[in-house]
């Protein structure tokens, strides 16, 4: 149970660092989404919290134990809808940058770099914590489906803490709902792919494009609106497949145990 305690404690400490950092920034009245000072502050907080996760990984885990095992390439077909969404978003985002680049100044470029740094370390940290450490630790201690549910709910509930970053309660709840849809889709994908790297890359680029385009006033492809419906469809299909497989495995194990008991009683 020690590894489970480590993963849960890591998530709690990570969130506490994020919350305390957001509260400190709020005390300095840094509230504008487009404020360079806020981006710098967010990056510092994210680096500190993610640095803690890196420390925990180096001390207690191997990469294959946190979701970086050999990827099942044939299962990447399930990830194709997300790739299409990402390509469409990237195309419009790059096109928007090209059209507006003459209006960019040093502050704009610094903002883009800070947003990229923040989204990369946040995206990878969240995937490692919930679809890596927590999910893989729970899998060996409780039934797989229960582990998947806890991992999904943990990822969703975590996003309520955005209220400490200046979001209203309604905005935070909307964030939780959107995160829930993504979480319940990404957990079975992590199981089927046997690797969280594709999920972390998508998570990172999605957040970067959404935040950077909003900051710079760039209109991106409306294809991103299909992400939630796709999350729902992927969740239904993959959870159904995994649940059926688990039931089949349980039935086979029970049958084997019954056969062994029968043989021993003869």
> The tokens 């003869």 sit on which residue?
266
For the stretch 213-228, pLDDT in tens is 988 888 887 888 899 9
Return the DSSP state at 29: T
Q: With pLDDT > 70 as the criterion, what percentage of the chain qualifies?
A: 90
What is the mean predicted confidence (pLDDT) over 159-186? Answer: 85
- pLDDT at residue 262, as a whole number: 42
Q: Which residue has the higher pLDDT, 248 or 113?
A: 113
**Residues sharing a CB contact under 8 Å with residue 27, sequence separation 6 or more, in sequence order:** none
Please determine, for residue 191, whether its predicted confidence score (pLDDT) is greater than 50. yes
3-state secondary structure (DSSP) of residue 225: helix
3-state secondary structure (DSSP) of residue 68: strand
- pLDDT at residue 33, as a whole number: 47
Please determine, for residue 190, whether its predicted confidence score (pLDDT) is greater than 90. yes
- pLDDT at residue 84, as a whole number: 93
Question: Taking phi first (over 0 means left), then psi (-120 to 50 degrees means alpha), and beta for anything else, what does residue 253 get?
Answer: alpha
Contact 162, 126 (CB under 8 A): no
**Nearest in space to 220 (alpha carbons), one of 228, 210, 205, 234:** 210
- pLDDT, averaged across the chain: 87
Q: With pLDDT > 90 as the criterion, what percentage of the chain qualifies?
A: 59
For the stretch 96-149, pLDDT in tens is 998 888 888 888 889 999 999 999 999 999 999 999 999 999 988 899 999 999
For the stretch 193-215, pLDDT in tens is 999 999 999 999 999 999 999 88
3-state secondary structure (DSSP) of residue 72: coil
Q: How confident is the model at residue 252 (pLDDT cuts 50, 70, 90)?
A: low
- pLDDT at residue 266, as a whole number: 54
What is the mean predicted confidence (pLDDT) over 12-31? Answer: 82
């Amino acid at each position: 149970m020690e590894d489970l305690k480590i993963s849960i404690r890591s998530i709690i400490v990570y969130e506490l660092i994020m919350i305390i950092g957001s509260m400190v920034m709020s005390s300095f009245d840094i509230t504008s989404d487009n404020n360079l000072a806020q981006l710098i502050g967010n990056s510092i907080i994210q680096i500190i919290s993610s640095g803690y996760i890196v420390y925990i990984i180096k001390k207690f885990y191997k990469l294959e134990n946190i979701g970086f095992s050999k990827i099942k390439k044939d299962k990447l077909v399930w990830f194709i809808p997300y790739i299409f969404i990402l390509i469409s978003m990237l195309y419009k985002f790059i096109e928007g940058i090209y059209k507006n680049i003459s209006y960019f100044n040093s502050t704009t470029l610094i903002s883009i770099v800070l947003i990229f740094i923040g989204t990369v370390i946040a995206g990878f940290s969240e995937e490692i914590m919930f679809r890596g450490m927590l999910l893989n630790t729970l899998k060996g201690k409780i039934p797989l489906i229960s582990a998947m549910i806890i991992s999904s709910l943990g990822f969703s509930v975590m996003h309520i803490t955005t209220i400490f970053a200046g979001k209203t309660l309604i905005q935070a709840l909307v964030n939780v709902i959107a995160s829930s849809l993504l979480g319940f889709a990404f957990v079975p994908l992590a199981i089927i792919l046997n690797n969280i790297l594709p999920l972390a890359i998508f998570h990172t680029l999605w957040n970067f494009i959404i935040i950077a385009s909003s900051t710079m006033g760039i209109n991106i492809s409306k294809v991103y609106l299909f992400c939630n419906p796709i999350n729902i469809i992927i969740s239904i299909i993959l959870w159904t497949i995994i649940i059926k497989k688990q039931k089949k495995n349980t039935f086979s194990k029970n049958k084997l145990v019954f056969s062994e008991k029968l043989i021993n009683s003869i």
